[in-house]
Structure 1
């Protein structure tokens, strides 16, 4: 299968539960734990506690329906608004938020976060805190001027996007266009946090291969600078996982703020 036949995350059917099982579960054969779980948790904890990123509203635009990247966020933001392009992802996330039978298990990620803290007692109610903080789960359309039309969202103190730009963009122009659209959701001087995988061309979910947009650290730095953002923190980790499910070379975490 060449890249021209790969599916598009935002246009084709996407098995959100299989995606979680492949890349975020606690199963013994899930080899992405260091890249997709620990790396995110450590860096989110760092930018929120050291970088002083906080406020009233955080808007999350991320691939799939994972939640572990928001455990630290709910300590620093009163309200979290989650935007999803895919109905199955919305259903999967709502199942967890509503604490329904069959919801995906995230206890292993809470444990990772506890291990990073001197006092882990505060995380006993971490799931309840996060569920309470997620105020809205909203479907959006990437091609609309107002992606959540007819709903108009309040501007956010922080916009967070994990791995989404990597899979909705076909080229550099797409990446910049979508990032510009995401950044319009920010208040003046607001922060953006981007997580991506460098030099990806595909990822696999079940029997389906989805396209990825390959880019390097230099490109994303220039893209943010070109849109008026100042990078406050950047961390790149070389891939640790051995698997043919996906072909990225490294994981990147960037926190930046918009010049007023």
Structure 2
């Protein structure tokens, strides 16, 4: 289907809360638990605890209003900055960060993480630790030279981008151009962590159909190596969810670095 008939995540409006409830909640009808919830939590738990990725500054530039993939990060980075394209996402995340009435409940994801850690009775402590590590939530614009203008952020030891590049890219040229912009947030020798959906063309939020740029594992690897990155780890989880809300075939996790 022509992508021009689809909406674009960073251009068009969408219901941020409905998106969370559809793809990241503990609602009984939410069928994406393995791919959207458990996979990022488990992969980052494993990769950070391996001890090779750590530092002072972590920048997360991910889609939607998600935080669950960052529970491990607050043990390995002093300061975390969150970048969001949509004002609604900034508001949603500030509501959670400041424990305001009506904030999205991530307790199901937090419980899964603390069980991995073997500390299932320390959910509240872990959430407080993550919130304390988050220094700023910044609205950004992918088309600006400085994505966060007028805010100037320090360069990061690690950048995480989850489920984002395929949402904002119309084609291969966009994907490469936006990847270049995101990786400018890194210090020389910094670590890049990507999550993505493979071979997808759309996802639904309510009655609205949103665009995905379709690519496969080989393409992701080729682009990163073409940009001078060395891939340290790559893992693909084939789709388990049964739903017509999206047509993706799997999800991918990549860690990579550039030589100093």
What TM bracket, shorter-length normalisation? over 0.9
Report the TM-score when normalising by structure 1. 0.97
C-alpha displacement at 1:119, in angstroms?
Answer: 3.8
State the Cα deviation string for residues 26-58 of structure 1 (Å, max 9, x = none). Answer: 010100001111111110001101152111110
Q: Offset of 1:124 from its aligned partner?
A: 3.9
TM-score by length of 2: 0.97
Q: What is the distance in 2 between the residues matched to 1:191 and 1:211? A: 28
Equivalents in 2 of 1:122, 1:155: separation in Å? Answer: 32
Partner of 1:252: 252
Answering whether residue 24 of structure 2 is matched by residue 34 of structure 1, we say no
Deviations 1:84-115 (A, max 9, x none): 01010110000000000000000000111122
Runs of 4+ off more than 4 Å: none
Match of 1:221? 221
- Aligned-residue CA RMSD (Å): 1.2
String of CA shifts for 1:56-81, please: whole Å, max 9, x gaps.
11001111001100111111111110
Instruction: Tell whether 2:205 aligns with 1:199.
Output: no
Cα distance in 2 for residues equivalent to 1:55 and 1:224: 22
- Measured in 1, the distance between the counterparts of 2:127 and 2:116 equals 17
CA contact (8 A) 1:203 1:246 kept: yes
Deviations 1:204-230 (A, max 9, x none): 011111100000000010111111111
Q: Residue in 2 aligned with 1:52?
A: 52
- Counterpart of 1:112 in structure 2 is 112
Aligned residues: 260
Deviation at 1:249, TM superposition (A): 0.3
Contact in 2 for aligned 1:54/1:76 (Cα 8 Å): yes
Q: 1:121 offset after TM fit, Å?
A: 4.4
Structure 2 gap ranges (5+):
none
Q: Residues 57 and 78 of structure 1 are in contact (CA less than 8 Å); yes or no, is this contact kept in structure 2?
A: yes
> Structure 1: how far apart are the matches of 2:219 and 2:229?
14
Please tell me whether the aligned partners of residues 68 and 110 of structure 1 are also in contact (alpha carbons under 8 angstroms).
yes
Larger deviation: 1-10 or 202-211?
1-10
